[in-house]
Chains A and B, each alone.
Chain A
Amino acid sequence: MDRRSFLRNLGMLAGAGSASMALGNIPLRAFSRSFLNIQAVNGKVVVLLQLSGGNDGLNTIIPMEDSLYYNARPSLGIKKEDAIQLNYLTGMHPSLQPLKGLYDDGMVAVVQNVGYESPNRSHFRSTDIWLSASDSNVVIDDGWVGRYLAKVLPDHNPINPEHPLAIQIGSTQSSLLECTCQGTMGISFESPNQFYQLINGSTADNDPPPNTIAGNQLKYIKEVAALSIRYAEIIKEKADLVENIATYPNTRLGRQLAIVAELIAGGLETPVYLTSNGGFDTHANQAGNHANLLSGVAQAIEAFQTDLRLLGIADKVVLMTFSEFGRRVIQNGSGGTDHGTAAPLFVIGRNVYGGVYGTNPDLSDLDNNGDLKYKYDFRQLYATLLTQQLGMPLNRMSDVLQKDFETLPLISENAGTLNGPTAFQLEQNYPNPFNPSTTISYFLRIPQAVKLEVFSTAGDIVTTLVNEYQDVGNYNVQFDGSKYSSGVYFARLDSGAYRKTIKMILVK
């Protein structure tokens, strides 16, 4: 049953004023939670966070054991002792501290080296490439989200025409939400209240414009006018149903994400939101500026995730950051960095398998411009969000992204049911008790550096069974106890950020 028929069954849609939005004497707000479960779409939401200007990936996710990094960035490099350790090889900028708790809870995936073939170092062209999901040498005028919403979504999810398909918080509108087939698929506004007030008093105008250049311009303006009128009311209604519980930083991004949380919790069935944070074009004096930018972003995301949890909607939402490019490996003479290529990005949510995906960038293997080579095509991330979060069938991928891309195992309902580390699983050894040897099995969901050690009850290391970077997969490791005496031993799997221990009993 969709929400409309639910309301209809209650008689709420019948009369004027919908019984003043109340069931009996109980204000609608009290029911907002139950409405959350009655959505027409699969109820999942993607929140995109655009970091405009080109975020410096190498100073966001730090290759803290790589001397080439420190050689290239004598003054800008983030020292190992300052970095927040994610695993043995990889750290995070200290300003991202607010994300550490989420990372430890297994909610943050860091995907390394995301980019594309033949990178373009122009802000505008590279932004267009990211928004349109085109190849570097192909110009596409609309956005991947717009194409998905127009061409694919209606086939696998019933659309509620009363709710906008996409929302951009802000007063510009991105080509991300455009589809050349239908025009703009989304709306933009600074805040639900302001939007509602602006629209007050507008009337739609249905005169068909002529098919001329001017007529097409007029048609566009009329469409925008009609869209605004159509959605202003429902957005205000949904925003008014719920209040944020977490405290957000008083920044543009903080306010944007607070609005997104309210609208989702209020039951707006919009599957895609676009938020943004500018200023990442750090050509000069980067150190302090970049630290401030990252800490602003991290604080806002942390508040958003807390809010989603408290509002009971954490399992609906996945947030992904992106930026048009990373920056040059070598710092420039102005204490900054120039335009570069591939960079890491974050995918964050309760249903995300947390961890670091991919190795640190290989600074000994740069392109002939001295820039990083990409490992993951950015469209693999789009494919992952579309299929794993929004439920798009795999066979529709090329309708949105022009061709097929391999997805990453990033998002699943199952991830949300796990507590703590999701990057690996360590099984109980078999047999147990054992004599003289036993098998320890573990599964790596993402490639990562792992250490498998056996400890005595006194806490001494008995032996190190594994200490290397390993790929995704199942691993079975033998522990031979013939040299050791009977007793209790502990096997600990440690990826630097995550650890898990099992107890083993050797009985001779």
Chain B
Amino acid sequence: MKSGNNFNKISVWDEDAARHILARTLFGYTKQDIEFALSHTLDNFVDNYMLADQPEPSQPGYWVNDPTNENNTERTRELMYWWYNLMLTQGYSLRERMVLFWHNHYVSEVSKVRLAQRMYWQNKLFRDYAMGNIIDLTKAVTIDPAMLIYLDGTRNRKGTPNENYARELLELFTLGIGNYTEQDIQEGARALTGWRVDGITPYFTDSRFDEGTKTFLGQTGEFNHNDVVDIIFTQPAAATYFCRELYREFMHVAIDEPSIETMAQILRENNYELKPVLSTLLKSVMFHTDEVRGAKIKNPIELLIGSMRQFNVESPDYVYMRKVAAQIKQELFAPPNVSGWDGDKVWINTTTLPARNVFTDAVVNGKKPNGSNLTFQIDLVEYARTFSSSEDAVQLIDDISKIFLQFPLSENRREYLLNTLLDGAEVYDWSTSDPLAEDRLKLFFIALMRLSEYQLS
């Protein structure tokens, strides 16, 4: 049965549905998380947990209000660790997932923005509007200090426009190629003039603003930055553009235009409020169909944070994780360019895939490849005993796989994992009390997380 463009609510809310929704909205999940989700109705879980407004987290440090560039490298790292921790401890909210989505949509790079605190305030903006109104977010981003600096808005002034932000606003942030002209970029840039940044504060200077008449996307007037955004969102292409990105984020890369158009319709009808379209999508038959499960390649942050949550690690080694994140090409606040991380297959190549494997080995071993210890050690025997099937090797592999894998295990893979766990012993000899159990679990988890299937969500 073709389930594309089927936005009816699923009729069965079961373990498989819960696993799928958790895998796609959180950074990793546990057995307890599945139980929690299933103790609520689907509506209740999605609308009152995933999409619920969340309290503002405390700031990473007093320094976020300091306009100087002191200790910028340290502060950027602190900011990363702070965000890693929010992702790990956010409970059942979709919020941090959306903050990362927006970071990869309205892209800025700290190398050019220069101050970690500007990245913090931009990050807070993404969190404030994480599941809010896209038009309001776009207006806020347009005069956000990090963005003004990143795309040269501060250099865009009357008489000598700088097109950088105007171009990317249309091309990458709202409409996409084909829905505007070079003329619109030039005129849009004029309307966006006048803004500068003092430390971490944006300000407007009348004399730098081009108050003349502009013709932008077919409309003519003495437009300013807010007008530019409002006019953009009168274009139907805007909703389509955002929904295509949401589809890629939550479904998979096999774009289905009719489904995207249905989502875009919901977004337009709700004046670009995100919650209705997200709520519909996450409960839909289309989202929960078999072919969507396991069809996304995990981004590096999902892999890193996800492995911590899967093992219930409370104090991860964030320093090591940051280094691995750089190797596997997703350094927060340092996307490769203004279009952000390409995602999907681009995550996986002959360098990053082996590096992902080395990371999961390290998590299981409690040791980095150079032999030094991580800041935490996972007690694998204790972890195995959190499963009621801990003494039944075959069942245990199935139960653990349901936490670690979305892609169904083939018979061959299951047998390979069982042989790895038993390491020569007979299946009835398996016991977590065996003195070799820990070593066997180590081999098993290394093998499990080295499966290509583990890279899929």
Contacts and interface: CB of A to CB of B under 8 A. Distances in A.
Contacts of A419: none
B329 A217 contact: no
A503 B156 CA distance: 61
A198 B349 contact: no
B167 A198 contact: no
Interface in B322-346: 327, 329, 336-339, 345-346
Contact of B355 (A120, A198, A205): A198
A198 B456 contact: no
Given A172-B349, A228-B354, A334 B162 contact: yes
Nearest to A334: B155
B350 A173 contact: yes
A199 B456 contact: no
B100 interface: no
Interface string B342-360: 0001101111111101100
Contacts of B297: 217, 221
A224 interface: yes
Contacts of A89: none
A190 B351 contact: yes
A303 B163 CA distance: 37
Given A197-B369, A221-B348, A283-B152, A228 B163 contact: no
Interface in A166-200: 170-173, 184, 187-190, 194-195, 197-199
Interface stretch (A19-27, A58-66, A207-215, A491-499): A207-215
B161 interface: yes
Contacts of B327: 171
B404 to A, nearest CB: 15
A189 B354 CA distance: 10
A184 B338 CA distance: 25
B294 interface: yes
Interface in B353-402: 353-355, 357-358, 361, 369
Contact of A202 (B155, B339, B351, B450): B450
Interface stretch (B51-59, B133-141, B405-413, B426-434): B405-413
A500 interface: no
Contacts of A227: 350
B291 A333 contact: no
Contacts of A334: 152, 155-156, 160, 162
B171 A283 contact: no
Given A207-B413, A217-B456, A121 B351 contact: no
Which residue among B297, B351, B369, B453 has the maximum number of chain A CB atoms within 10 Å of its CB? Answer: B351
B452 interface: yes
A338 interface: yes
Nearest to A285: B155
Nearest to B351: A171
Nearest to B290: A212
Contact of A195 (B292, B294, B351): B351
B164 interface: yes
A339 B456 contact: no
A336 interface: yes
A201 B410 CA distance: 22
A221 B353 contact: yes
A278 B456 CA distance: 30
Contacts of B76: none
A123 B337 CA distance: 10
Interface in A214-254: 214, 217-218, 220-222, 224-225, 227-228, 231
A124 interface: yes
Given A222-B452, A283-B162, A283-B164, A217 B351 contact: no
Interface in B188-244: none
A121 B171 CA distance: 10
Given A122-B171, A217-B297, A224 B350 contact: yes
B338 A172 contact: no
Interface in B148-162: 152, 155-157, 159-162
A156 interface: no
Given A122-B171, A124-B339, A125-B177, A336 B452 contact: no
A121 B253 CA distance: 25
Contacts of A124: 171-172, 339
Contacts of A187: 349-350
Contacts of B369: 197
Contacts of A172: 329, 336, 346, 349
Contacts of B164: 283, 338
B451 interface: yes
A220 B348 CA distance: 9
Interface in A270-320: 278, 283-284
A214 B351 contact: no
Contacts of B253: 213
Contacts of A221: 297, 348, 353, 452, 455-456
B386 to A, nearest CB: 28
A334 B174 CA distance: 25
B283 interface: no
B452 A225 contact: yes
A121 to B, nearest CB: 7
A284 B148 CA distance: 13
A145 to B, nearest CB: 15
B12 interface: no
Contacts of B161: 332-333
B294 A333 contact: no
B289 to A, nearest CB: 10
A369 interface: yes
B309 interface: no
Contact of A333 (B159, B336, B455): B159
Interface in A329-368: 332-334, 336, 338-339
A404 B450 CA distance: 46
Contacts of A228: 350, 353-354
B412 A214 contact: no
B405 to A, nearest CB: 11
Contacts of A339: 163, 167
Contacts of B291: 212-214
Contacts of A225: 353, 452
Contact of A121 (B157, B182, B338): B182
Contacts of A217: 252, 294-297, 345, 456
B254 interface: yes
B293 interface: yes
A338 B162 contact: yes
A198 B452 contact: no
A221 B298 CA distance: 11
Contacts of A184: 349
B160 A224 contact: no
Contacts of A202: 354, 357, 450
15 contacts: A122-B171, A122-B177, A171-B355, A195-B351, A202-B357, A207-B410, A217-B296, A221-B353, A221-B455, A224-B353, A284-B155, A332-B161, A332-B162, A338-B164, A339-B163
Given A124-B172, A221-B297, A283-B164, 20 more contacts: A52-B337, A53-B337, A123-B337, A124-B339, A171-B349, A172-B346, A173-B346, A173-B350, A188-B350, A195-B350, A201-B361, A202-B450, A205-B413, A212-B291, A214-B456, A218-B407, A220-B348, A221-B452, A231-B350, A333-B159
* Among all A-B residue pairs, the 10 with the closest Cβ atoms: A333-B160, A334-B155, A198-B354, A173-B349, A214-B295, A221-B452, A187-B350, A214-B294, A171-B351, A228-B350
Interface of A: 52-53, 120-125, 170-173, 184, 187-190, 194-195, 197-199, 201-202, 205, 207, 212-214, 217-218, 220-222, 224-225, 227-228, 231, 278, 283-284, 332-334, 336, 338-339, 369
